[in-house]
Each structure stands twice: as C-alpha cells, then as structure tokens.
A and B are shown apart, each in its own frame.
Chain A
Amino acid sequence: MSALVPAVAFWLAAWGLNIWLAARLRGSARIAVPALFGLAVLALWEGTVRAFAVPEVILPAPTVIAAAFAGNLPILWSDFVQTIVKGAMTGYAMGCGAAVAVAVLIDRSPFLTRGLLPVGNFVAALPVVGVAPIMVMWFGFGWQSKAAVVFAMVFFPVLVNAVAGLAAAERMQRDLMRTYGAGYWPTLWKLRLPAAMPFVFNGLKIATTLAVIGAIVAEFFGSPTRGMGFRISTAVGSLALPMVWAQICVAALAGTAFYGLVAWAEARVTFWHPSQRGRG
C-alpha cells in the first residue's frame, strides 16, 4: 500500500492546483493544466501497479516502460523508419497529392462534382483498412503494400474535402478575377487553391491518424521482420509487454508529431483564415 499513498496525495495536490490554475487560464497555464493532469495519471498508474504488485504481464509500470524504451532504441528506430517513414509517410504524400490533383480535375465538371461528393463521403466512411490483405497480395510484404493501404485510406477523405474547398471561393471573388482578365489557371493558383486550403488541411489532419493506423494494421497481414505492427504482434505473443508499451509510446509520439507537423503547416499556409488569427 505504501506506494499508493504518495501517488494519491500527488494526484489530489495536482487536482487542487489545477482548479486554482484553471481559474486563471492565461498563457502558460494552458499547457501546465493538462501536463499536470497527465503527470497525475502517470503517478497514479505507477502507484497502483506498485502498491498492488500488479504483474508485468498485465500492466507494466511507467518506469519499467521507460527503461524498455531506453534499452531498445535501435530496434524502435528501425521499426519507426520502416512503418512510419517508409510506409505511412510515403502513402500519405502520394494519397494526398493524388486526391488534390483528382479534385482539381473533377472540379472542371460540375456534373461529376455533384456525383462525386455523395460517393466520396460514403467511401470515406467505409472500413477501407480492410483492403490491407489485397494490397499485401498485390505489392508484397515490404513497405510498398503499407504505403498502398495508406494511399487508399487517405485518398477519399482528402478528396471530399478538397472538392468542397474548391467551391469555397465566393462568386464576387471569382468575378473580380475575371475583371482582372485572369484565365482558369491563374484563378486556380491565385484564388481558388488558397481559398480551398482550410478545407484541404481539415482532410489532411484527419488523414494523419488514418495513415499511422493503416501502416500498422497492414503489417498484421504480413510484413518483413521489422516494423511496428510486426514487433507488436510478436512481442505480445512472447509476453514481452514492456516492449509493446514502448512501441505504443513510439506510435503515440509519432502520431502526435505527425499531426503537429500538419497543424504547424496549416498555421503557416492559412494564416489569413479567421480560425488562425489572433493566436499570436
């Protein structure tokens, strides 16, 4: 029980501090409050695991996971490169690029645009991750099949958002471009694509999570002897649970960093948009 007491005490103290901080939400408190909450959860976790002597097989303590993380850096790094950099990032770049290109093509025909939106919305909601076994059959066990799954998963969400975005420029703005004597392409480059960016980034942000999920799931259907999905399934099989949790940490960090990267790019590209203004 001894380890539980300080953990609970810490949790209560953090909670009290949070109540005090939340009443004065300014600047650094915005980060401090959730950080304290996270630390309190970790402390409770550690305390509970130690106090009740929970076996490592059920739930390893955070310190044990941290040790496993630090002790397996080369393996974690090679898995990260295989799954996230080669599989997820490549598929993400190709899928999003293709989706925006197709959106521009389709945008020239209002008839197809009207037909595509319902179909695209529907496909975006389907469990596309199920194409993983088919892609493994087509492209083999390497990272190419993972990139293909990611491509299929991110294509429709981004396409739907890009098509909606291309319709975002107002009639007045388009008329203004026409009075300037701008043709289709200058209008597209200077007005409509920039105006579509908030929508496109909405799709891109949704797609980051999908990309990481797709790359890992595809590895359950067959992979070379590295990669995060492969490592997780074999480590679970041999009950090396601290290793599994270390991989989860990598996945969480990679997923958050990936999302953060896209959000950062969004803030740079769509700085003019009302939702980005006044954030300093």
Chain B
Amino acid sequence: MSKALPVLAVLGIILAVWYAATVWMNAPQVRQAAARAGVELTTGQVVAATMSEARPLLAAPHQVAAELWKGVTGQPVTSKRSLVYHGWITLQATLTGFGLGIVVGVGLAIAIVWSRVMEASVMPWAVISQTIPIVALAPMIVVLSNSLGLGERLGVENRLVSKTIIAAYLSFFPVLVGMVKGLRSPDAMQVDLLNTWNASPVQGFVKLRLPASMPYFFASLKIAIAAALVGAIVGELPTGAVEGLGARMLVASQFGQPLLMWASLFAAAIVAGVLIVAVGTLQRLTDRRMGVRP
C-alpha cells in the first residue's frame, strides 16, 4: 500500500493537469462558437462545453476513454473500425519482429562472446547502427521487401515482412548488449571450477553462462519489446499501410478526427503496457523455475 499511494498521487496530479489543460486549450474554441451563435456563456457553461467538444484541441480524459471503449466494444473485433483488429495487426508485427530481434541479438551475442574477431569488428557497427534513425530506412525496407517478393515467398503479407524487419532492427540491440554482458557475467572462479570438472566449452556455456545471463536477458527484453512496438508503429507510417494502430493514427490525423487519434494512441500505450507486464511475468516464472527465492 505504501508503494501504491505515491504512484496514485502522481497519476492524480497528471489527470488534474490534463483536465485543467483541456479547459484552457478548448475554451477559445468554445467562446468563438458561442460568439458566432450570438450566445453569452457563463464560465461554468464554457467549462462544461470544453469537456464535450466534438473536435477538441485537447480531448478530455473521459472522452478518450469513451472513444477507446467504443473502438474496442462498439463493433465485432473483426471490423475494420475496431481498435482490437488494428491492435492485433500491429501486435503481430511487434511479436514477429521481437522474436527475430531476440534470435539475431542472442546469436550475435554468442558469436561475440565466442570470438574476439567478431567482437572487434561487429560490436562497433552494432553501436553505430543504433544511431541510424530507422525511420529513414523504413520506406526503403518496404520497397526492398516488396520488390524481392519476400512476403509471397514466406507465405505472409508483404507489409508484415517490412514491419517485422523494422521492429527487429530496433529490438535486437538491447538484447545484444544485455546478452553480451550477461554471458560474460560469470566470474573467473566459476569458469575455473567448471574447468576443473573437465567441462567442455559447450557444457560451460549451457550450464554456467546461459543461466547466469538470464537476469540481464530479461532486463533487456523489457526494453526490446517496447522498442519492437515502436518499430511496428513507425513501420506503418510511411508505407501506405491501411491497417494497424500507426496507420489508424495517420488516417485519423489526415481526416481530422482528433478523438480517434487519441484513442489509437492510448490503444498503443495499453498494448505496450500489457506486453511489458507479460515479459515481467515470464521473468518471474523463469526465476521461480531456476530456484530464485524472492
């Protein structure tokens, strides 16, 4: 309880600031409309009107919640107007990209820990690759995967392929860095002990280095899954995609539907939250399986 109270207080402050900002930002719009209609509004009426604008400059929290609720439950989940449907499209790309990112990141980490040449030549480029803004590459990746027909060859949609690559690109780096650190975390004493037991390098890897790297692995997974979601959303922007939360935001912004924009944004935030909690749960389960006492 002593932990929840400060968090709730901070959330309450954020909510209060948000409501105040809603009134402040929407009031000119409301006053203008009233002046045009020739009506005089009291301050109370203005405040009430700012809360229920159809196209607000800043949507009130309850409006966003209502739009979100409508987007989720207002129609069957297979409908193109359902946020669940678009969320699912984005989630697919996120998870496949996340999986690919883990494979690449862990693979490179093992290679780097194994070979000094790999470390010296690959590691600096992995770092540099992260300073390249992926969004600059996103349209290229789409064109590339379309013209190579990667999607058809793998039996999935082309759009999924490009989004997956972008998500994987963003999520592999945290995994790589975390795993290199984790695989190197056993100290010399432990490695020597395995040597005295005549363990082969593979045994040393499976029985000592891999288990030792797990805390680092999960710490980086939490960063990587958030990054993968950002990648999937960004991958939907410049590619002419019509499905997915990112595409939904773009469409809402172009057609002047601020409420839908806010709802999509919060849907993305909720997906991110659920994914992070899921990784946290997985970590706890693994910890218990490995005998970590809380």
Contacts and interface: CB of A to CB of B under 8 A. Distances in A.
Interface in B115-148: 116-117, 119-125, 128, 130-137, 139-140, 142-144, 147-148
A130 B116 contact: no
B139 A129 contact: no
B237 A217 contact: yes
Contacts of B7: 114-115, 118-119
Report, as a range, how many residues of chain B touch the other chain. 35 or more
Contacts of A259: 131
A21 B117 CA distance: 8
A138 B121 contact: no
Interface residues of A, number: 64
A251 interface: yes
Nearest to B10: A115
Per DSSP, chain B at the interface is helix
Contact of A115 (B9, B128, B262): B9
A258 B132 CA distance: 11
A236 B249 CA distance: 21
Contacts of A132: 249
Contact of B8 (A115, A127, A241): A115
B120 A33 contact: yes
B160 interface: no
Given A220-B237, A221-B253, A236-B143, A125 B9 contact: no
B128 A256 contact: yes
A251 B133 contact: yes
Contacts of B253: 133, 136-137, 221-222
B131 A256 contact: yes
Contacts of B147: 57-58
Which 10 residue pairs spanning A and B have beta carbons closest together? A115-B6, A133-B253, A37-B121, A115-B10, A255-B131, A34-B124, A125-B226, A236-B139, A251-B136, A33-B120
A228 B136 contact: yes
Contacts of B148: 58
Interface string B5-21: 11111110010000000
A130 B273 contact: no
A101 interface: no
Given A37-B122, A126-B272, 9 more contacts: A30-B120, A34-B122, A116-B10, A119-B14, A133-B253, A213-B135, A220-B238, A236-B142, A247-B136
A184 interface: no
Interface string A105-145: 00000011111101100100111011111101110000000
A38 B234 contact: no
B264 to A, nearest CB: 7
Interface of A: 15, 18-19, 21-23, 25, 29-30, 33-34, 36-38, 57-59, 111-116, 118-119, 122, 125-127, 129-134, 136-138, 208-209, 212-213, 216-217, 220-222, 228-229, 232-233, 236, 239, 241, 244-245, 247-248, 251-252, 255-256, 258-259
11 contacts: A21-B120, A25-B116, A112-B9, A115-B5, A130-B246, A212-B133, A217-B135, A244-B139, A247-B136, A251-B136, A252-B133
Interface in B88-126: 116-117, 119-125
A114 B6 contact: yes
Contacts of A59: 144
B34 interface: no
B234 A213 contact: yes
A222 B253 CA distance: 9
Contacts of A256: 128, 131-132
